[in-house]
Amino acid sequence: MSMLKVDHLSVHYGVIQAVKDVSFEVNEGEVVSLIGANGAGKTSILRTISGLVRPSAGAISFLGNEIQKVPAQKIVASGLSQVPEGRHVFSGLSVIENLEMGAFLKKDREENQANLKKVFDRFPRLEERKNQDAATLSGGEQQMLAMGRALMSTPKLLLLDEPSMGLAPIFIQEIFDIIQDIQKQGTTVLLIEQNANMALSISNRGYVLETGSIVLSGTGHELLTSDEVRKAYLGG
């Protein structure tokens, strides 16, 4: 079943076209990756899906409803959350206060407490540092916090923008293990990632973007073993 469908999407910033007639879909229960070089249009696609950018053409359907004109907060409330590139934790607020920000649209106190427990079970480091200023966490811990904050809204679809950026190798492996666990627990994932090898290795399917257009698609395994992808993105 298709959870997210992007149909002939185009995005402009003034006269510059960042996304050119892109179409793809994400089925329920999948991890789907968008890979490509910097400037390929990956983040623009995620920001448009999230309602932070308005498309110049095309349609976006989530759970059967078009959302390309829906305000971002209503998109979150419908079950779609994004972890932005660069984490963007709230400095000056504690870890637990950052997590509570992720549940600001949910008024059920018991549900929020249950979600907080789930986040701490998944990210025990965050519970250990729950009263610590979020800005003082390591890069890997901040990424966990950003992911935990998004999960506080109990999303059906989680958008991840470059989750491994700037992290030490030990944290990168941990983050990708967590992404697989999130999928196994029932959350669908759309992943943007410069580390194409890691992304495709955990993906059901993937799409390759070049200068705003999709040029290749296939299963994660097919793209991992594609000569074209290996030469361009995997150092083969």
DSSP label of 49:
H
Predicted confidence (pLDDT) at residue 4 exceeds the cutoff of 90: yes
Tell me, yes or no, whether 85 lies in a domain: yes
Tell me, yes or no, whether 145 lies in a domain: yes
- Domain housing 184: 12-42+49-57+68-203+210-233
Q: Report d(CA 223, CA 229) in Å as an integer.
A: 6
The CATH number of the domain where 167 resides is what?
3.40.50.300
Residue whose entry in the numeric block shows the structure tokens 């955990």: 202
Q: What is the mean pLDDT of the chain?
A: 92
Tell me, yes or no, whether 148 lies in a domain: yes
CB 223 within 8 A of CB 206: yes
Higher pLDDT, 86 or 212: 212
The separation between CA 205 and the C-alpha centre of its own chain, rounded to angstroms, equals 15
For residue 142, what are the contacts with CB-CB under 8 A and spacing of at least 6? 87, 89, 134
Tell me, yes or no, whether 117 lies in a domain: yes
Average pLDDT in the 173-202 region?
93
Classify residue 51 by burial, with Cβ atoms within 10 Å: 0-12, 13-18, 19+.
buried
Instruction: Locate 173 and state its tokens.
Output: 């492996």
Give the pLDDT band (50/70/90) at residue 234: low
- Identify the pLDDT of residue 236: 53
Predicted confidence (pLDDT) at residue 9 exceeds the cutoff of 60: yes
- Identify the pLDDT of residue 166: 84
**End-to-end Cα spacing for the chain:** 34
20-65 pLDDT, tens digit each: 999 999 999 999 999 988 889 999 999 999 999 999 999 999 999 9
Give the pLDDT band (50/70/90) at residue 71: very high
Q: Report d(CA 186, CA 192) in Å as an integer.
A: 19
Pairing of strands 57-62, 65-66: antiparallel
Predicted confidence (pLDDT) at residue 115 exceeds the cutoff of 80: yes
Most confident range (mean pLDDT) of 5-19, 95-109, 155-169 is 5-19
Tell me, yes or no, whether 7 lies in a domain: no
Give the pLDDT band (50/70/90) at residue 1: confident
Predicted confidence (pLDDT) at residue 182 exceeds the cutoff of 60: yes
Residue whose entry in the numeric block shows the structure tokens 């200023």: 133
The separation between CA 56 and the C-alpha centre of its own chain, rounded to angstroms, equals 22
Number of domains, the chain? 1
Tell me, yes or no, whether 123 lies in a domain: yes
Tell me, yes or no, whether 122 lies in a domain: yes
197-225 pLDDT, tens digit each: 999 999 999 999 999 999 999 999 999 98
Nearest CA-CA partner of 95 in 167, 139, 148: 148
DSSP label of 175:
H
Q: Report d(CA 97, CA 171) in Å as an integer.
A: 23
Tell me, yes or no, whether 4 lies in a domain: no
